[in-house]
C-alpha cells in the first residue's frame, strides 16, 4: 500500500537523551514535513524538505534536527536541547507537481519524556 | 506571513442537523485551501481541497466546503451530521507548490445523538 509510515508509535525519552523518529514514504513525493501537535495548539512546523539533501527550518526548529539523504526518508531527531519534547509528532509529504498539491500525513508518533 | 484562523474551538450539533465549521485565511496570491479530519491518536486525513474553479467543493464522507474570496473564508459544511463525524477538524492554506502549508488550530466537532 502507498503511504507514509512513522515509527515508533510510542517512544519514551529520558532527560538528556537524543531520540530519532522515523518517517518513510513510498508516494514518490518530493517534499516532506515534520509537524508537532500539542493539545489546543494545532500543528506547528518543525522542518521541511523540498528535495534530497536540502531542508529548511520551520517555526519551531530549535532543539530538533533532520536529514534527507533519500527521497523516501526524512527522520527527525529530538535532541536534549529541546526542553519540552513531550508531544505528538506528525510526518507529512506532498507532491509539488501536477494537480492538487495535497499534503498527506502519517499516523503520528507520541514522544514522552520520563 | 500567511495565517489560518478557526474561530471556534468547539462546535456542537445534533445528529441529523446541518453543520458548519468556520475557517478564514490570509495567503498571498491564489490560495490552495484544504480541510482535514483527525480522530484521536491518529494522523490527519484529507477531506477536500480548493484549487480553482467552482466555489463549492465536494469531498469525502458527504462533506463540502464553500470558498468565498471576498470574505477570505473556506467554511466546511455537511447537510446532515452523524455521530461518527465527531472529531477534530483542521483547515489549511498554502500558496501552492512546495511552499509550506499553514494549519489552523483546529475545531472539535461534537455531534450529539
Which residues are paired to A87 by β-bridges?
Answer: A111
Residue B1 has a pLDDT of 77
Q: Which residue of B has its CA nearest to A43?
A: B103
CB–CB contact A96 B97 (8 Å): yes
The pLDDT tens digits of the residues spanning A27-58 come to 999 899 999 999 777 899 999 998 999 999 99
Number of Cβ atoms within 10 Å of the Cβ of B43: 22
Q: What is the DSSP letter of B53?
A: S
Which residues are paired to A90 by β-bridges?
Answer: A35
Residue A97 has a pLDDT of 59
Please give the backbone phi and psi of residue A39, each rounded to the nearest 5 degrees, phi first.
Answer: -55, 130
Does A104 reach chain B within 8 Å, measured CB to CB? yes
- Radius of gyration of chain A from its Cα atoms, rounded to whole angstroms: 13
Which whole number is the average pLDDT over B92-106? 81
Judged by DSSP in three states, B61 sits in: helix
- List of chain A residues whose C-beta atoms are within 8 Å of the C-beta of residue B32: 101
Q: How far is B76 from chain A (nearest CA, A)?
A: 17
Query: Which of A41, A48, A102 is closest, CB to CB, to B105?
Result: A41
The pLDDT tens digits of the residues spanning B13-33 come to 999 999 999 999 998 878 889
Confidence of residue A102 (pLDDT cuts 50, 70, 90): confident
Q: Which residue has the cell 461534537?
A: B110
Q: How far is A17 from chain B (nearest CA, A)?
A: 24
The pLDDT tens digits of the residues spanning B32-57 come to 899 999 999 899 999 999 988 889 99
Residue A1 has a pLDDT of 60
Confidence of residue A76 (pLDDT cuts 50, 70, 90): very high
- In a 13 Å sphere around the CA of A114, the CA atoms on its Cβ side amount to 8
Confidence of residue A100 (pLDDT cuts 50, 70, 90): low
Judged by DSSP in three states, B33 sits in: strand
- Nearest in space to B56 (alpha carbons), one of B26, B37, B33: B33
The pLDDT tens digits of the residues spanning A79-91 come to 988 888 999 999 9
Kindly tell me if the per-residue pLDDT of A10 is higher than 80.
Answer: yes
Residue B26 has a pLDDT of 92
* High-pLDDT (> 90) share of chain B, %: 79
* High-pLDDT (> 70) share of chain B, %: 96
Contacts of residue B40, Cβ cutoff 8 Å, sequence gap at least 6: none
Residue A62 has a pLDDT of 96
Amino acid at each position: 500500500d502507498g503511504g507514509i509510515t512513522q515509527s515508533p508509535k510510542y517512544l519514551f525519552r529520558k532527560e538528556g537523551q537524543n531520540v530519532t523518529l522515523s518517517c518513510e514514504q513510498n508516494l514518490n513525493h518530493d517534499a516532506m514535513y515534520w509537524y508537532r501537535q500539542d493539545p489546543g495548539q494545532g500543528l506547528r512546523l518543525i522542518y521541511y524538505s523540498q528535495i534530497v539533501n536540502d531542508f529548511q527550518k520551520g517555526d519551531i526548529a530549535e532543539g530538533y534536527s533532520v536529514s534527507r539523504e533519500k527521497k523516501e526518508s526524512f527522520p527527525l531527531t529530538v535532541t536534549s536541547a529541546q526542553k519540552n519534547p513531550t508531544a505528538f509528532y506528525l510526518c507529512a509529504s506532498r507532491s509539488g507537481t501536477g494537480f492538487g498539491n495535497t499534503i498527506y500525513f502519517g499516523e503520528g508518533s507520541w514522544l514522552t519524556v520520563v | 506571513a500567511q495565517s489560518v484562523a478557526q474561530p471556534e474551538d468547539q462546535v456542537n450539533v445534533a445528529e441529523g442537523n446541518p453543520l458548519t465549521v468556520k475557517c478564514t485565511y490570509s495567503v498571498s496570491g491564489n490560495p490552495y485551501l484544504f480541510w482535514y479530519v483527525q480522530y484521536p491518536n491518529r494522523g490527519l486525513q484529507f477531506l477536500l481541497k480548493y484549487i480553482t474553479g467552482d466555489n463549492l467543493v465536494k469531498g469525502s464522507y458527504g462533506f463540502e466546503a464553500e470558498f468565498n474570496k471576498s470574505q477570505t473564508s473556506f467554511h466546511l459544511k455537511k447537510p446532515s451530521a452523524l455521530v461518527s463525524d465527531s472529531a477534530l477538524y483542521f483547515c489549511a492554506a498554502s500558496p501552492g507548490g512546495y511552499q509550506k502549508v499553514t494549519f489552523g488550530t483546529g475545531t472539535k466537532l461534537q455531534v450529539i445523538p
